Amino acid sequence: MSLTMSMSESAGAQDWRAVACLAPGGERLLCLGGSSAQVRAAYTNAWGEVIRDEDRPTVRAISLQRWAGLAWQGQWEHQSYLAVPATRGGKSAPSDPDAPID
């Protein structure tokens, strides 16, 4: 019986992430999640909190990445590009000021 588990098999694994790729060559972690759907749903809100106003023009892409390997030994692998949000909060403000924010 093997006691080796991949990160995907461990409880509460955060196997997916969104990373903002900056020019000329830096990156900022936007969010982590257990599935690509979780990361896709969360990265636009993280955009407004993580990326400073002065850094927004330098964001060239947002990479959706998946962890490949064991929890203690592996690497992040690019899966696809996500849309770079156009607004500070990642989406336009609600028209009703009393409306709940997602």
In the chain, what are the domain boundaries?
Answer: 16-82
Give pLDDT, residue 1: 38
Single-letter amino acid code for the residue at 69 = G
In sequence order, the β-bridge partners of residue 81 are 63
Does the structure show a pLDDT above 50 at 34? yes
Do β-strands 59-70 and 73-82 pair in parallel, antiparallel, or remain unpaired?
Answer: antiparallel
Lowest mean pLDDT among 1-15, 16-30, 54-68: 1-15
**H or E segment to which residue 14 belongs:** none
Does the structure show a pLDDT above 50 at 100? no
pLDDT band at 77 (very low <50, low <70, confident <90, very high): very high
> Residue 96 and residue 36: Cα distance in Å, rounded?
30
Inter-residue contact 65 to 79 (CB < 8 Å): yes
Give pLDDT, residue 11: 46
Does the structure show a pLDDT above 50 at 51? yes
